[in-house]
């Protein structure tokens, strides 16, 4: 994908370009970036920083643009405007940065929507960039340092200062989905080299398992899509491969204090006793972390101690049934809660990673038709006060991660409109290995709003909400892959930005009992 090259004899560009700069006193963001660069990055020679939003607009008449200028793109009491070109004052160095193509840009999207509200015509195309002008005795090397600090290559890049001829995106018609020719006849060695080239999250053994399946059950080679779908489906993130691993042997070290070791031994015995009580003495059920995680609830439920649990085939949040009294009248409600992590996405792109952590956490109770009303955020970070120079190669600085993540999560939560009741960050040097970003949410709805039925042949699946783009790809498998110094450079397509107004529309829709009762699952 790229910008279309101008064709010979084509009309002059229909792209209108405008630069918008906050007036002194309103330029809070510019002042904060400046302080950040001076204090945290150590660019002591920087004396001033100007920040401009650059909008490239097409599909809009000059007349409509003039109207939009003072309503949408700028406000005369707050902004200065420069048409077509921005000439920085003497002594300033200028560069621009923009999101990678295809990355969701709320600023551009809102600008286009807002202009359309004004014109009531077709929605124009809008691209945005941030232009930064700095003054002071700043060396070439320092300029590069500034750019590297401000541009996170997994989501953005330096932008050209030239105005494009057109904003149309040249999309190539994709080729047909390839079949993996000969796959079912490959030996381990051939599979291994294929495995190495694909960047799967699943193991080589899993891939062999796929080969056997397609060979023995399907009698055909798989498509690339099939292998990708299987990989996504099986990856740690969705199905806990590690948690399902069979633990063939559990040994406990004999420690200094017998009573402490005994306590762990007792816990293990308790686990095995509970297994026996639930599954019988001769069970084949593998001993696994997953089993240890869920067996407590199973056992207590069998003993009748979990009367309020709401059981269903739906895979979503924890759900309990509770009586709720409204104006003296008591009715059954379902309370649903869910915790979610986005450690890996937040580590490489803090804003989007943390925003979609919350979005993802909301999604489960929401799909269970609960209205999500509160969120909690528990995060783990390395010391954010350590100087920038101590950042490990291949990592973003802890400070950038933690402030970017706070901005992303809060921006999403504030926009979707749920009350974040508690926010705590745990500081531990271990979280330099990878940040911890947990969102936990709680939702509820009258039980009568929730109908649960087993899908039957002929039922229809309706897809609701935002459109599909490349940014949602690999979210599941990315977090399962080993993380190395290269990660910051190669994971680009995996970064997702949230679109909270759209998820909120779904919240509104599902809150209507007339609608929620139509949903079988």
Partner 1 sequence: MAIGELADGLTVNLDHVPRKYEGLDGTELAISESQERMAVVLDSADVQAFCEAAARENLNAKIVAFVTEEPRLRMEWRGDRIVDIARSFLNTNGVTQNAQVYIEAPDGDLNYRKLVPECLAGKPLAEAFRENLARLEVCGQRGLAERFDSSIGAATVLMPFAGKYQMTPEDAMVAKLPVDHGETDDATAMSYGYIPGIARFSPFHGAAYAVVESLSKLAVVGADPMKARLTFQEYFERLKDVPSRWGKPTAALLGALTAQLKLGLPAIGGKDSMSGSFENLDVPPTLVSFAVAMTKASKTKSAALQKAGSALVWFPLPETEGSMLPDWEKIPGYYKEILSRMENGDILSASVVKEGGVAAAAAKMAFGNRLGISMDRNMEDAATLFAPASGSIVAELREGAEFPASARKVGNVTEEASIVLGGVSMPVEELTKVWNSRLEKIFPNEAPEVPLSVDVPLWTERSGKAPAIHTARPQVFIPVFPGTNCEYDTARAFEKAGAKPEILVVKNLTAADIEETIVEMDKRIRQSQIVMFPGGFSGGDEPDGSGKFIATTFRNPRIAEAVADLLENRDGLMLGICNGFQALIKLGLVPYGKIVEPSENAPTLTFNTLGRHISKMGYTRVTSVKSPWFAGVEAGDVFAVPLSHGEGRFVADDATMAQLVANGQIATQYVDLSGAPSGNVQWNPNGSVCAVEGITSPDGRVLGKMGHSERKSENAYRNVPGEKDQRIFESGVAYFK
Question: For residues 270-289, which are near partner 1 according to CB under 8 A?
Answer: 270-271, 274, 286, 289
Rounded Cα distance, 70 and 95, in Å: 25
**Residue 490 makes contact with partner 1 by CB under 8 A:** no
DSSP for residue 73: I
Range in contact with partner 1 (rule: CB under 8 A) among 90-98, 148-156, 159-167, 207-215: 207-215
Pick out residues in 227-266 that bind partner 1 (CB under 8 A): 228-230, 232-234, 236-237, 239-264, 266
3-state secondary structure 168-189: CECCCCCCCCCECCCHHHCCHH
Rounded Cα distance, 321 and 175, in Å: 50
Q: Closest CB to partner 1 among 91 and 430?
A: 430
Interface with partner 1 (CB under 8 A), residue from 8, 197, 461, 486: 461
**Residue 3 makes contact with partner 1 by CB under 8 A:** no
**Residue 392 makes contact with partner 1 by CB under 8 A:** yes
CB within 8 Å of 297: residues ≥ 6 apart: 306, 309
**Residue 80 makes contact with partner 1 by CB under 8 A:** no
Q: Closest CB to partner 1 among 89 and 175?
A: 175
* Tokens read off for 424: 């705590």
**Residue 124 makes contact with partner 1 by CB under 8 A:** no
Range in contact with partner 1 (rule: CB under 8 A) among 135-143, 147-155, 185-193, 322-330: 322-330
Question: In whole angstroms, how close is the CB of 91 to partner 1 at the nearest point?
Answer: 26
Question: In whole angstroms, how close is the CB of 258 to partner 1 at the nearest point?
Answer: 8
Rounded Cα distance, 435 and 345, in Å: 9
Rounded Cα distance, 123 and 276, in Å: 64
Range in contact with partner 1 (rule: CB under 8 A) among 9-17, 132-140, 146-154, 410-418: 410-418
The SS3 call for residue 276 is helix
Give the count of beta carbons closer than 10 Å to the beta carbon of residue 471.
Answer: 20
Left (φ > 0), alpha (ψ -120 to 50) or beta: where does 25 sit? left
Residue found under tokens 């009248």: 329
Q: Closest CB to partner 1 among 162 and 172?
A: 172
Interface with partner 1 (CB under 8 A), residue from 206, 221, 354, 404: 206
Query: Exposed e or buried b for every residue in 414-431, given b needs 16+ CB within 10 A?
Result: ebbebebeeeebeeeeeb
What track of x and - describes contact with partner 1 for positions 344 through 363 (by CB under 8 A)? Answer: x-----------x--xx-xx
Number of residues that bind partner 1 (CB under 8 A): 238
Rounded Cα distance, 380 and 141, in Å: 33
CB within 8 Å of 59: residues ≥ 6 apart: 14, 122, 123, 124, 125
**Are the beta carbons of 114 and 104 closer than 8 angstroms?**
no
Question: In whole angstroms, how close is the CB of 15 to partner 1 at the nearest point?
Answer: 17
Pick out residues in 168-187 that bind partner 1 (CB under 8 A): 169, 171-177
**Are the beta carbons of 346 and 436 closer than 8 angstroms?**
no
Question: In whole angstroms, how close is the CB of 35 to partner 1 at the nearest point?
Answer: 9
Q: Closest CB to partner 1 among 143 and 490?
A: 490
**Residue 91 makes contact with partner 1 by CB under 8 A:** no
Q: Closest CB to partner 1 among 47 and 223?
A: 223
**Residue 484 makes contact with partner 1 by CB under 8 A:** yes
Pick out residues in 211-230 that bind partner 1 (CB under 8 A): 213, 217-218, 223-226, 228-230
Q: Closest CB to partner 1 among 144 and 266?
A: 266
Question: In whole angstroms, how close is the CB of 152 to partner 1 at the nearest point?
Answer: 17
**Are the beta carbons of 358 and 413 closer than 8 angstroms?**
yes
Interface with partner 1 (CB under 8 A), residue from 399, 404, 491, 495: 399
**Residue 63 makes contact with partner 1 by CB under 8 A:** no
Interface with partner 1 (CB under 8 A), residue from 71, 160, 196, 332: 71
Q: How far is CA 188 from CA 216, 217, 334, in A?
A: 16, 19, 50
* Tokens read off for 33: 């970036």
The SS3 call for residue 18 is strand
CB within 8 Å of 66: residues ≥ 6 apart: none
What track of x and - describes contact with partner 1 for positions 129 through 158 (by CB under 8 A)? Answer: ------------------------------
**Residue 5 makes contact with partner 1 by CB under 8 A:** no
- Scanning 56-187, the segments in alpha helix (DSSP H) are 62-68, 106-119, 140-150
Q: Closest CB to partner 1 among 80 and 93?
A: 80
Rounded Cα distance, 69 and 115, in Å: 9
């Amino acid at each position: 994908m790229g910008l279309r090259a101008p064709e010979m004899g084509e009309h002059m560009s229909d792209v209108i370009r405008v630069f918008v700069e906050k007036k002194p006193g309103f330029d809070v963001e510019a002042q904060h970036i400046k302080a950040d660069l001076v204090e945290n990055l150590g660019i002591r020679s920087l004396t001033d920083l100007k920040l401009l939003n650059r909008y490239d607009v097409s599909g809009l008449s000059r007349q409509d643009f003039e109207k939009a200028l003072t309503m949408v793109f700028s406000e005369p009491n707050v902004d200065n405007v420069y048409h077509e070109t921005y000439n920085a004052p003497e002594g300033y160095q200028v560069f621009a940065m923009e999101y990678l193509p295809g990355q969701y840009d709320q600023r551009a999207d809102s600008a286009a929507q807002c202009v359309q509200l004004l014109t009531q015509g077709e929605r124009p195309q809008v691209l945005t960039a941030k232009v930064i002008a700095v003054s002071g005795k700043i060396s070439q090397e320092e300029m590069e340092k500034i750019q590297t600090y401000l541009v996170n290559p997994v989501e953005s890049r330096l932008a050209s200062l030239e105005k494009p001829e057109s904003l149309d995106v040249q999309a190539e018609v994709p080729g047909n989905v390839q079949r993996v020719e000969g796959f079912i006849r490959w030996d381990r060695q051939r599979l291994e080299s294929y495995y190495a080239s694909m960047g799967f999250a699943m193991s080589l053994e899993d891939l062999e398992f796929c080969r056997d399946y397609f060979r023995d059950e399907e009698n055909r080679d798989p498509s690339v899509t099939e292998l990708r779908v299987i990989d996504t489906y099986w990856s740690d993130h969705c199905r806990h491969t590690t948690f399902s691993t069979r633990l063939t042997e559990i040994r406990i070290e004999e420690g200094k204090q017998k009573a402490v070791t005994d306590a762990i031994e007792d816990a293990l015995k308790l686990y095995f006793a509970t297994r026996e009580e639930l599954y019988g003495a001769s069970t084949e059920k593998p001993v696994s972390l997953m089993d240890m995680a869920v067996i407590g609830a199973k056992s207590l439920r069998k003993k009748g101690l979990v009367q309020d649990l709401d059981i269903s085939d739906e895979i979503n949040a924890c759900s309990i049934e509770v009586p709720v009294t409204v104006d003296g009248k008591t009715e059954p409600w379902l309370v649903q809660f869910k915790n979610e992590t986005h450690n890996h996405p937040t580590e490489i792109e803090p804003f989007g990673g943390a925003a979609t952590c919350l979005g993802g956490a909301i999604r489960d109770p929401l799909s269970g038709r609960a209205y999500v009303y509160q969120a909690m955020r528990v995060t783990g970070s390395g010391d954010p006060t350590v100087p920038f120079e101590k950042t490990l190669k291949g990592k973003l600085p802890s400070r950038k991660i933690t402030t970017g993540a706070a901005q992303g999560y809060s921006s999403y939560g504030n926009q979707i409109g749920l009350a974040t009741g508690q926010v705590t960050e745990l500081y531990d040097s271990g979280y330099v290995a990878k940040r911890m970003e947990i969102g936990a949410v709680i939702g509820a709805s009258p039980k009568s709003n929730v109908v649960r039925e087993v899908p039957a042949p002929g039922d229809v699946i309706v897809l609701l909400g935002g459109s599909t783009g490349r940014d949602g790809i690999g979210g599941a498998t990315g977090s399962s892959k080993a993380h190395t110094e290269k990660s910051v450079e190669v994971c680009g397509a995996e970064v997702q930005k949230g679109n909270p107004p759209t998820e909120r529309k779904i919240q509104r829709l599902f809150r209507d009992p007339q609608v929620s009762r139509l949903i079988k699952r």
